[in-house]
Amino acid sequence: MTFQDIFKSSFLENVTSVSIPDMLLSLLLAFALGLFILVIYKRTFAGVMYSSGFAVTLLALTMITTVVMLAVTSNVVLSLGMVGALSIVRFRTAIKEPLDIAFLFWSIAVGIILAAGMIPLAILGSLFIGIILVVFANRKPHVRPYIACVQCADQAGEQAAVALLKDHAQRCTVKSKTVQAGNIELNLEVRLKNEDTSFVNALAALPGVRSAVLVSYNGDYMG
C-alpha cells in the first residue's frame, strides 16, 4: 500500500459525503427548532419541579438526532452499523411526567425530518404542535380538586368534619380512611363551590378534630 492509497481509502471519501453548507444549515435549523421546543416546554410545564437539565436535553437531542441522521442518510453501510450500535444503548432515567415523552419524541422527530431535508414540514409541524400544546396543556379544570387530610379523635369528630366539608363543597368523596386506637385519619377529594378556603379553620376547630390540611391535587401530584 502506497501513501497515495491511504488517501484513497473509503474513510477519507466520506469526508465530503455531506457538504459544509448542508451541515451548517441543518444544525442552525435544529438549534432554532430545539430552542422553540425548549420554550414550549417551559410554557406548558405543570409538574412538581421544573428540570432545566431536561429542557436543555430537548435542545441537544434535536441537534444530535440531526447529526446522526445526516451521517446515516449519506451512507447505507454506516446506517446499518448505526442501527447495531444504538440497539445496545439502554437508558435508565425514569420519565416522571407523561407529557415529557411527547417532548422527547418531538425533538427526535424534528431532527430526523431536518436531516431528511423536509425543512417546511419541520418548521410548520413544530409551530402547529407548539400551538396545540400551549392551548391544551395550560387548560385548567373548571373546578380545581383538593385533598382534605383530617385527623379525628373519635367517630363524632369524623361525622362533624365530613358534614362541614359537604356543606362547603360541590363534591366530597372519601379516598382513604385509616383507623387506629384513638385516631381516625381521613383523606377526602373535595371540589369546592368557590376558592374560599377559610372553612379549613372552622374544620380544625371542631370538637374531636385534631388537625385539618387542604392541598391542591391534579391527579399526578399534590402541592
Residue 223 belongs to a domain: no
Residue 178, CB-side half-sphere exposure with 13 Å CA sphere: 6
Give this prediction's pTM: 0.62
* Structural domain range at position 97: 3-137
Helix (H, G, I), strand (E, B), or coil: what is residue 198? coil
Q: Is residue 130 domain-shared with residue 176, that is, in the same domain?
A: no
Cβ atoms 89, 68 nearer than 8 A: no
Per residue of the chain (223 residues), give pLDDT as tens: 554 554 455 555 555 566 778 788 888 999 999 999 999 998 888 766 777 888 898 999 899 888 888 877 766 555 555 655 555 556 566 676 778 888 989 998 998 888 888 889 999 999 999 999 888 876 655 567 888 899 998 888 888 888 888 888 888 888 888 888 888 898 888 888 777 788 888 888 888 888 888 887 655 544 4
Q: Please check whether residues 18 and 110 belong to one and the same domain.
A: yes
203 and 131 housed in the same domain: no
Residue 11 and residue 6: Cα distance in Å, rounded? 9
Which one of 113, 137, 161 terminates a domain?
137
96 and 40 share one domain: yes
**Would residue 11 count as lying in a domain?**
yes
101 & 203 share domain: no
Map residue 71 onto helix, strand or coil: helix
* Side-by-side strand order, sheet with 145-152: 169-180, 183-192, 145-152, 209-216
Closest CA to 193 of 214, 164, 171: 171
Other CB atoms closer than 10 Å to residue 114's CB: what's the count?
Answer: 28
